[in-house]
Amino acid sequence: MKSFLAAAIQMTTGADKAANLEKAEHLTRLAAARGARLIALPEVFNWRGKRSDEPAAAESLDGVTLTLMRRLARELEIHLLAGSITEHAPGESRRHNTSVLLAPDGAQLAVYRKIHLFDIDLPGRVTVKESDVKIPGSEVVTAATALGTVGLTVCYDLRFPELYRRLAFSGARILTIPSAFTFPTGEAHWDVLIRARAIENQCYVIAPAQFGPNVHGFSDYGNSMIVDPWGRVLARASDNEGVVLAPLDMEYLERVRRELPSLAHARLR
């Protein structure tokens, strides 16, 4: 498909999984009704609660969340990125942070387990150690679709350009970055990092995000974005939950790559 509408969904997810899924379904339907053919939900869109409650909230890939998402993709005939869920890891005390791309028939096109885990300490502002409860993935994941090849990543991955270069060299034209970026790091770096990943890899970037105060005691930056291969911000969410849409034009992408063939000029791979 040469050109189509994509949507990034912005949410404020809490500990009530049923309410989160109801909201995610509503916003997905809204995006589809507006014409989006590729719709992306944010990181941990289905549940975000106390770490002590995480084992009970985690699911398998055939659990209630992805069962609902498959049904939605099939009913709405859309490509749907189930931003990320907390996935059980058999035999492990920790879990995966897992993003799943679904086809318009509900089939599972790709499963990506977040490689880079968010362990930071900004004194007086944010302290997070994701590795206490999560296991890092190890696979670089792309999925060939009728819309173009999609490269899957999650949130903190954004700071590691080598991952995105590998995705580009694997054929990615669209990069997905479902996120829950903290406000301090987001205010400083979110825009420039997303635009950089789009520019240096000459890809469209879809970055749906969490917004506002969360259960962990700090705020998420929001500013869900869709950016084109020239680094232009095509859509940005305001300070609330909702949907932003933008056209993705694959002919334009190929023109950018043809006129400024930096990927072809790369000497180091």
All residues at 6 or more sequence positions from 32 whose CB lies less than 8 Å from its CB, including other chains: 39, 76, 78
- Strand bridging mode 174-176 / 219-221: unpaired
| The pair of three-digit structure tokens given for residue 237, joined into one six-digit string | 């969410």
pLDDT at position 1: 67
pLDDT at position 217: 82
- Residue 209 sits in a domain whose CATH number is 3.60.110.10
Provide the residue range defining the domain that includes 162. Answer: 3-265
Active site residue 203: no
Active site residue 43: yes
Domain count of the chain? Answer: 1
Which of 23, 43, 203, 241 is catalytic? The answer is 43
Alpha carbons 178 and 39: distance in angstroms, whole number: 11
Burial bucket for residue 269 (CB in 10 Å: 0-12, 13-18, 19+) = exposed
Which of 59, 87, 114, 241 is catalytic? The answer is 114
pTM comes to: 0.96
Which of 87, 155, 203, 241 is catalytic? The answer is 155
pLDDT at position 198: 98
Q: Read off the DSSP letter of residue 180.
A: -
Burial bucket for residue 239 (CB in 10 Å: 0-12, 13-18, 19+) = exposed
Q: In the chain, which stretches have pLDDT less than 50?
A: none
pLDDT at position 132: 82
3 state DSSP class of 225? strand
Question: What are the pLDDT digits (tens) for 6-42?
Answer: 999 999 999 999 999 999 999 999 999 999 999 999 9
Alpha carbons 62 and 68: distance in angstroms, whole number: 10
Residue whose entry in the numeric block shows the structure tokens 């995480």: 54
DSSP 3-state percent helix, strand, coil across the chain (nearest 5): 30, 30, 35
